[in-house]
Amino acid sequence: MHQRTWRSRFSAAAFVVAAATVAPSGCFDGDIGEPGASCESTRSYFLTDVWGPVMAQKCVGCHAPGGVAQDRGARFQLLPASYPDFADTNLAAAIAMANQSYNVDGTTMSTLLAKPLGRVQHGGGAVLTEGSPEYAALSELVDRLTSSGAESCADYGSIAAPSGVTLLDWRATLRKASLDLLGRLPTDDEYARGGVSEAGFVATFTAMIESPAFYARMRTAWNDMLLTDRYVSGDGCDQRALNLLNSDDFPNRGTYGGGAGADGLECCGRDRAMAVCADVRASFLAANNAIAREPVNLFEYVVRNNRPFSEILTADYTLVNPQSAHVYGVTDQVRFNGTYDADELQPARLRYTRVYSATRRESADFPHAGILTMPVFLARYPNTETNRNRHRARIVQSYFLATDILKVGERPIDPTASEALVQTPTLNYGPCVTCHRINDPIAGAFRSLSSFGGSWRYDPNDAWYTDMAPPGFAGEDMPGSSYRAGLRWLGPRIVSDPRFAVSVVRFLYKTLTGRDALVYPTDTADPLYAARASSWNEQDRIFRAIANRFTASGMNFKTAVLEMIRSPIYRAVGAVTQGDATRMASHGGIGTARLLTPELLDRKLRAIMGFGWAQDAARDVASNGNYGWLTNGLYLSYGGIDSDTIVRRVTDPSGVIVGIAQRMANEMACRATAFDFTKPLAERRFFRRVYIETVPESAGQSVPGSIAQIRQNIVDLHEAILGERLPSDSPEIERTYQLFLETWREAVMTGSAIPEACRATRSPVTNEAITPAGAQVTSDPRGTVRAWMAVLTYLLSDYRFLYQ
Amino acid sequence: MDRRNFLGLSVLAGLTAGVSPVARRLLHAQPMPRNTALEPYAGRFFLFINAGGGWDPTMVCDPKGGDINRQFMPAQIGSAGPFQYAPLTFSDDGRRMISNQQFFEKFRDRLLVLNGIDMQTNNHDTGTRYTWSGHLEDGYPPLAAIIAASLAPGRPLGFLSNGGYENTAGVVPLTRLNSIDTIARIARPNRPDPNNAAVQFHSTATMDRIQRAQNERLAAMAAAQTLPTWQLSMRQALETRNGGNLLERLMQFLPSNDVLNNARNPILKQGLVALAAYQAGVSAAANLSVGGFDTHGDHDNAQGNALGRLLSGVDLLMDAIDAANLRDRVVVMVGSDFGRTPQYNTSRGKDHWSVTSMLLMGAGIQGGRVIGATDDRQRARGLDFGTLTPSDTATRKLNPKSIHMSLRQLAGVETAEAARQFPIYGERINLFPT
């Protein structure tokens, strides 16, 4: 009786776009488990039919934490939708209540019905009436929860495509994912293996991501979250990370200072100009940046070595390079290859020494807990005397438990009440307790790393506050024996919490789309409430499936990446929704539609054009692509972050961003067009179907053969630059051809000059002169260079190039 | 796609609200004509100056003295017209000194002080949001964004930001202009050398042709798109492409690098660029921001340093506004996350306190007034919303909701689409009588 065939609601319709496939069938929100399932899960029913229409409107107002019902000691407690796990927690509460009953007038009635009907003592009185739609919905829920049928509809989520949603085909998915995560186009062989089937895609892309480019991409993403690059320096005498260490704890730290070292040199001062000091400062820099990047290095180490991602919070080691190993005094633990390569990292365990008095000192292993105990993490989220690690607790929940504690506790405070009426409001004043009873125990786990300001010192005997909730997590108090290493106790508990996997999925979603996960709507009076809820359900369904597979893989991060890329969230590009408002409502959480970050656009340009958009071509080539406009001079203006004061990426295009993109397109087209014509046909990147002499008209007459070649070259360009495969008679090819034709006609009427910057005398790829000189293209007597330049500019500033 | 069809989809697309790239405003907008030159914006300009971290009004405009302010006694509190001020002098990072006395004497006829604002929070994020959006809950855009979306849609720097509260909720793009060194390259994308008008990548006719083709293609794609995420992103991209012609105007007004380098105060430096953007007609509102106010330790020194930068910056900025003859067209508002406690902690610091103040000056603001008050323990006093006088019998207190309702009225955006999508349900107060 609980079976509901959702597919029958919507007939599949044919909808064809280039490089895309329409899911012929599949699950819709409410379907369960893997594709092909067709019964609606109890969880889905609860959310759709009970939570939104009934409990969110009739119950949660009193039964929420801090609500009237809680004050009166009610057992039935509901979490508002601002809690990340509200759905499962509330369903569990409903199950518990549904399976308790009262004898009402000689009839057994579930508590979940008897209370809201007011048939038994209920503080809120009768809030439902028998026969109402709300009662019917609640009654069916009780029926589900008290019958064995519920077991057959367990809900694990699904990444199946919603009916009628158009997805990128596997070839296009491979191109998109390769550009996005690897900064390159797939090879022909990779297309052949990974572009025709899901199994082929999975196998091929799984192999492809084992590359440095993937880790570079993810390092950027991890820093977007952690913001610890704030401590990365470009000058060995700017020791932002080293300054966090105390020389008493790490005596070698002193030798990395600006004062005179053992050799008597002051390489950050008096002797700065001496040649030998360049190497000294380089070692300072290597040490500083290894410490600054410890968290991101650990993320990469764990993922690269296929270790459980949970190690980011539980690892009993840190990572050091030769220089930071020296600073930390752990060179005895590591074996480097002897080259003092700053990029070579090894795991090591730190030791601490505390000198309490002349006769009492303590020395032992430092209680590592992944990134939680790293100097830059603790400094980036500092403690204060009154904050008492609460900010760190909030960050831990936000990053690793998918919980925004501020939303949970977001309610007005009354300073009069907090100051005058209660002692220790965080323990005793309802509006404060709601949040602090969750947050403060986690804060307590940081108790031995509570030094204020920017310093990083471990004090195993640090006392904790008596006017705060004791250290713990999720209702479990930390045993006193763990107080000296509270984060080693906390880390395993966080990663065992189901929300940890959810947080990983949400992180990936933001990394790939630039957006935060949808928030379940709370305003039931909003006319769009049902639509928003439906959208959330669909996204949540996919998230849970990915989280489950991530967990089942032993928390292999790459599994989560692959699942996200396979899912409709990454691949959805359209939907059969014409005139069907209800169906469209469920698709607000899928599809990427992301303005490329400056880093992504820089990498995409290099992959597709063969060279970068550089401030100085010579320096860019010499630095192996590290001198691009988008990653240097225009980085912040194009929406980048500095991890210090600018920490949110701009995700919406502004006039400035549009101006930058237009300039990029002009400059890149300028440098690429004439240059491509200097090469033999077979070696060209863009113009393999035409010669520089191929013109569409001659003596005022069309030249059909040439026009066909030009149009086919335009087809190639659309695929090469935009990744769209179009027939040569499509309106878009016609639009581009008309741009070519009109520009060509104008060019042949206005002489043969092309701007000096656009003349092909040097290769933009190697910055070497093009030889022989006769191969250089320095003028445009036939007008084709300018016409093709216009086409390249047009394509490089197209939405499909600038977004993904 | 015809407008009717678009609106049908757009209502549903609101389900992605809260997702940054989704411009709610676009959902209800008429499709804009392509390749049409926008007129420079010529309405009022709004500068919102954020004192990041939670400032201490008792060291400026709501002085107490004694155990609340260890630097002075109540008897030493100064006055200028209706204002009371703390008898303190601050250093602008050693560049110049500025005292409260100088500040309040200078602006006594122009300044409106709002004291005793009940913030209902002592959380940084929430407080910043409440101060600049007028709404406690997440997801509301700052007033700057609503103004830019309503008064200067499509202008390339409509909402210019240097930090502070930046969650635009998608009503308008946020623009950062971190360096003016490159603005010429951005404003003149068709010149290889931005300072040489004689050489272009493409002829003007070709550039127009390219942009026309771009816009036509994007409009066609948006019309054919049926997934809300993609469709709204395309429409937003389409709209943003129309402001390019105005960026060139910005070049005419930007101060030189020498001027900016000499303006070492961060508020002044940010303000000069913002004023140039306004004079060019490309911006309607800007966030200026200065930090250092979260003084949990060594409060008197640290807070004093931050206040030195802030007050000196405001002073210099007002001079720049006057020099540009913009006194009657620019509104300046100074605010912060919240206030600081009436007692010191053991680190000589002050913690978060949910009562604060704001300063306002400029076009449409009747100066020489103080509205709202705190008691001797720095708690917000009641306010008679009719007479605007403190009242111990009044149950209402001055609050950001009511202030923003007035500000929206002052800006003329109260009924604008962006404001209606983010309504504020508060108690009306007439802070800015005409």
Report the side by side order of strands in the sheet with B159-161: B174-175, B159-161, B285-290, B45-51, B330-336, B355-362, B112-118, B369-371
Coil, helix or strand for B257?
helix
Residue A151 has pLDDT above 80, yes or no: no
Chain A residues close to B221, C-beta within 8 Å = 799-800
Chain B residues close to A414, C-beta within 8 Å = 120
CB contact under 8 A, B243 and A756: no
Residue A472, strand partner residues: A477
**pLDDT tens digits, one per residue of A697-713:** 999 999 999 999 999 99
The pair of structure tokens assigned to B412 is: 């003329």
Q: Average pLDDT for residues A751-765, to the nearest whole number?
A: 94
Predicted confidence at residue A260, as pLDDT, reads 54
CB contact under 8 A, B15 and A585: yes
Predicted confidence at residue B5, as pLDDT, reads 33
The pair of structure tokens assigned to A346 is: 């090894």
Chain A residues close to B380, C-beta within 8 Å = 415
One DSSP character per residue, A38-89 reads -SPPHHHHIIIIIIIIIIHHHTHHHHSTTSHHHHTT-S-----TTSTTHHHH
- Smallest CA–CA distance, residue A48 to chain B, in Å, is 15
Distance (Å, whole) CA A237 – CA B361 = 44
**pLDDT tens digits, one per residue of A9-47:** 222 222 223 355 544 333 333 334 443 445 677 888 888
Chain A residues close to B126, C-beta within 8 Å = 406, 410
H or E element that contains A570: helix A568-571
| Residue B238: closest C-alpha in chain A | A799
Residue A485 has pLDDT above 50, yes or no: yes
Short-list A678, A674, A661, CA closest to A799:
A661
Tally C-beta pairs within 8 A across A and B: 277
Predicted confidence at residue A16, as pLDDT, reads 28
Residue B8 has pLDDT above 90, yes or no: no
Q: How far is CA A75 from CA A128, A133, A548, in A?
A: 19, 25, 30
Residue with more model confidence, A690 or B168: A690
**pLDDT tens digits, one per residue of B139-161:** 789 999 999 999 998 888 899 99
Q: How confident is the model at residue A745 (pLDDT cuts 50, 70, 90)?
A: very high
Chain B residues close to A757, C-beta within 8 Å = 192, 201
Regarding beta strands B45-51 and B330-336, do their DSSP bridges make them parallel or antiparallel, or are they unpaired? parallel
CB contact under 8 A, A659 and B186: yes
Coil, helix or strand for B110?
coil
- Smallest CA–CA distance, residue A423 to chain B, in Å, is 16
Residue B380 has pLDDT above 80, yes or no: yes
One DSSP character per residue, B168-235 reads -TTSS-EE----STTHHHHH-TT-SSTT-TT--SS-HHHHHHHHHHHHHHHHHHHHH--SHHHHHHHH
The pair of structure tokens assigned to A450 is: 């509570």
Residues in chain B: 434
**pLDDT tens digits, one per residue of A266-279:** 888 888 888 888 98
- Choose from A526, A652, A668, A752 for mutation: most chain B CBs within 10 A: A652
**pLDDT tens digits, one per residue of A517-557:** 998 877 666 777 777 788 888 899 899 999 999 999 999 99
Q: Which of B192, B228, B230 is nearest residue A573 as measured by Cβ atoms?
A: B230
**pLDDT tens digits, one per residue of A45-99:** 888 889 888 998 889 878 887 677 877 888 898 888 877 778 888 998 998 999 8
State CA A177 to chain mean position distance. 14
**pLDDT tens digits, one per residue of B307-325:** 999 999 999 999 999 999 9
Is the link from the previous residue into A772 a cis peptide, with omega within 30 of 0? yes
Distance (Å, whole) CA B94 – CA B111 = 26
- Smallest CA–CA distance, residue A347 to chain B, in Å, is 37
Q: Which of A591, A658, A797 is nearest residue B230 as measured by Cβ atoms?
A: A591
Q: How confident is the model at residue B1 (pLDDT cuts 50, 70, 90)?
A: very low
- Smallest CA–CA distance, residue B109 to chain A, in Å, is 33
Residue B119 has pLDDT above 60, yes or no: yes
**pLDDT tens digits, one per residue of A226-268:** 999 999 999 998 899 998 888 888 888 878 765 555 667 788 8
* DSSP assignment letter at A726: -
pLDDT > 90: percent of chain B: 65
Domain coordinates of chain B in residue numbers?
1-31+192-242, 44-180+254-421
- Choose from A408, A436, A654 for mutation: most chain B CBs within 10 A: A654
Phi, psi (deg, nearest 5) at residue A133: -60, -35
- Smallest CA–CA distance, residue B80 to chain A, in Å, is 30
CB contact under 8 A, A739 and B210: yes
Chain B residues close to A572, C-beta within 8 Å = 227, 229
Residue A104, strand partner residues: A107
**pLDDT tens digits, one per residue of B196-221:** 999 999 999 999 999 999 999 999 99
State CA B56 to chain mean position distance. 20
Q: Which of A407, A639, A660 is nearest residue B186 as measured by Cβ atoms?
A: A660
Residue A365, strand partner residues: A351
CB contact under 8 A, B176 and A636: yes
Q: Per 3-state DSSP, what percentage of chain B is helix, strand, and coil (rounded to 5)?
A: 40, 15, 45
CB contact under 8 A, A410 and B137: yes
Predicted confidence at residue A648, as pLDDT, reads 84
Distance (Å, whole) CA A401 – CA A497 = 8
Mean pLDDT score of chain A, rounded to an integer? 87
Short-list A791, A771, A751, CA closest to A670:
A791
Q: Which residues contact B198 (CB under 8 A, 6 or more apart)?
A: none
Q: Assign 3-class secondary structure to A547-561.
A: HHHHHHCCCCHHHHH
CB contact under 8 A, A637 and B170: no
CB contact under 8 A, B228 and A587: yes
- Smallest CA–CA distance, residue B266 to chain A, in Å, is 13
Distance (Å, whole) CA A691 – CA A801 = 26
- Smallest CA–CA distance, residue B413 to chain A, in Å, is 22
CB contact under 8 A, A666 and B202: yes
Q: How far is CA B215 from CA A343, B221, B386, in A?
A: 46, 10, 52
Q: Which of B20, B202, B354 is nearest residue A415 as measured by Cβ atoms?
A: B354
Residue A561, number of CB atoms within 10 A of its CB: 25
H or E element that contains A108: strand A107-110
Chain A residues close to B284, C-beta within 8 Å = none
Predicted confidence at residue B142, as pLDDT, reads 96
**pLDDT tens digits, one per residue of A440-473:** 999 999 998 887 655 678 888 888 888 888 999 9
CB contact under 8 A, B175 and A662: no
Q: Which of A415, A532, A584 is nearest residue B355 as measured by Cβ atoms?
A: A415
**Which alpha helices (H) appear in A361-414, and where do they start and end?**
375-380, 390-400, 405-408
- Smallest CA–CA distance, residue A584 to chain B, in Å, is 7
The pair of structure tokens assigned to B245 is: 């012609």
CB contact under 8 A, B227 and A514: no
Residue B130 has pLDDT above 70, yes or no: yes
Predicted confidence at residue A755, as pLDDT, reads 95
Predicted confidence at residue A728, as pLDDT, reads 94
The answer, yes or no, to whether ipTM is higher than 0.90 is no
CB contact under 8 A, A590 and B229: yes
Q: How far is CA A700 from CA A599, A601, A745, A749, B157, in A?
A: 46, 41, 10, 12, 46
Residue B235, number of CB atoms within 10 A of its CB: 27
Predicted confidence at residue A415, as pLDDT, reads 57
Q: Which CATH number fits domain B44-180+254-421: 1.10.3470, 3.40.720, 3.10.530, 3.40.30?
A: 3.40.720
- Smallest CA–CA distance, residue B103 to chain A, in Å, is 29
Chain A residues close to B236, C-beta within 8 Å = 652-653
Distance (Å, whole) CA A219 – CA A298 = 10
CB contact under 8 A, A799 and B221: yes
**pLDDT tens digits, one per residue of A154-187:** 677 888 888 788 999 999 999 999 999 999 999 9
**pLDDT tens digits, one per residue of B235-287:** 888 888 866 667 888 888 999 888 888 888 999 999 999 999 999 999 999 99
Question: In this predicted structure, which of A282-291, A425-434, A774-783, B47-56 has the lowest mean pLDDT?
Answer: A425-434
CB contact under 8 A, A655 and B246: yes
Q: Average pLDDT for residues A104-120, to the nearest whole number?
A: 92
| Residue A640: closest C-alpha in chain B | B176
Q: Average pLDDT for residues A212-220, to the nearest whole number?
A: 97
Domain coordinates of chain A in residue numbers?
12-25+157-208+517-592, 42-153, 233-292+317-365, 385-496, 598-802
Q: How confident is the model at residue A148 (pLDDT cuts 50, 70, 90)?
A: low
Q: Which residues contact A762 (CB under 8 A, 6 or more apart)?
A: A617, A768, A769, A770
CB contact under 8 A, B229 and A593: yes
Question: In this predicted structure, which of B119-123, B150-154, B412-416 has the lowest mean pLDDT?
Answer: B119-123
Distance (Å, whole) CA A247 – CA A270 = 22
The pair of structure tokens assigned to A465 is: 């506050």
Chain A residues close to B241, C-beta within 8 Å = 658
Q: How confident is the model at residue B37 (pLDDT cuts 50, 70, 90)?
A: low
Residue with more model confidence, B433 or A205: A205
Chain B residues close to A802, C-beta within 8 Å = 237
Question: In this predicted structure, which of A138-152, A300-314, A410-424 has the lowest mean pLDDT?
Answer: A410-424
Predicted confidence at residue B416, as pLDDT, reads 94
Question: In this predicted structure, which of A82-86, A336-340, A623-627, A676-680 has the lowest mean pLDDT?
Answer: A82-86
The radius of gyration computed from the CA coordinates of chain A, to the nearest angstrom, equals 31
